[in-house]
Amino acid sequence: MTHTVAFIVGSTSDDSLNRRLARAFVQAASEDMTFVEAPIDDLPFYKPEYDGEFPESGTRLKKTIADADGVLIITPEYNRMIPGVLKNALDWMSRPYGTNPLEGKPVMIAGASGGMTATAVAQAELRSLLAYFNAHLMSRPELYIRATKADFDESGRITAPGTQDYLAAALSTFDHYIDTVHA
């Protein structure tokens, strides 16, 4: 069975390390997975006044997530937290109350950084936030990818030894996890 996976990159930079990681995931995927980006870079900062008249960018985000079989969230770590743009996207998904597209949705998280702990602290914060959404968060493997931009080739694959295979194995696990959650 083919699964559609919506992915969110928690950075608005066109050439961020985590956008490169998203491309590496797409390259590592089997033909049983189709990826669609759920863009967050055009979302205004959430405020309750939008609940009455949701902007198109918020509606599009929620629909992309709702239509997907699973969600991959790829986050950088800013000051030991998730980026504000990602928190803003989560706020949009939670509003208006009762319309949460992550409810019951299989979710896998990952992140890349050049630091020794990669994005471990940001991912811990993200796990805590996703509990509120009642998402079905895949707990393992934990994907704290230590890399730099130089570790990606022109096709989008990550060149650090064994890492592209590690991403492929993680996606295979996620593919089975999606089946389990939807069974």
Residue 143, SS3?
Answer: strand
Containing structural domain, residue 29: 3-182
Q: Where are the beta strands (DSSP E) in 10-61?
A: 33-37
Q: Are 148 and 118 in contact (CB under 8 A)?
A: no
- The 3-state DSSP class for residue 133 equals coil
> Is residue 127's pLDDT more than 90?
yes
Structural contact between residues 111 and 103, judged by C-beta atoms closer than 8 angstroms: no
Residue 22 confidence (pLDDT): 96
At residue 44, does pLDDT exceed 90?
yes
pTM score? 0.96
Q: Which of 79, 83, 64 is nearest to 10 (CA)?
A: 83
**Are 68 and 136 a contacting pair, CB within 8 Å?**
no
Q: What is d(CA 98, CA 103) in angstroms, rounded to the nearest whole number? A: 10
Residue 38, judged by CB atoms within 10 A of its CB (0-12, 13-18, 19+), counts as: buried
**pLDDT, position 73:** 98
Number of domains in the chain: 1
Query: Which of 44, 121, 129 minimizes the C-alpha distance to 88?
Result: 44
What's 46's DSSP letter? Answer: P
Q: Where on the phi/psi map is residue 104: left (φ > 0), alpha (ψ -120 to 50), or beta?
A: left
Q: Where are the beta strands (DSSP E) in 10-58?
A: 33-37
- 82: domain CATH number is 3.40.50.360
Spatial distance between the Cα atoms of 17 and 66, rounded to a whole number of angstroms: 27
Question: Residue 20 above 90 pLDDT?
Answer: yes
| Residue of higher predicted confidence among 172 and 160 | 172
State phi, psi for 109 to the nearest 5 degrees. -120, 155
pLDDT digits over 45-104, tens only?
999 999 988 999 999 999 999 999 999 999 999 999 999 999 999 999 999 888 999 999
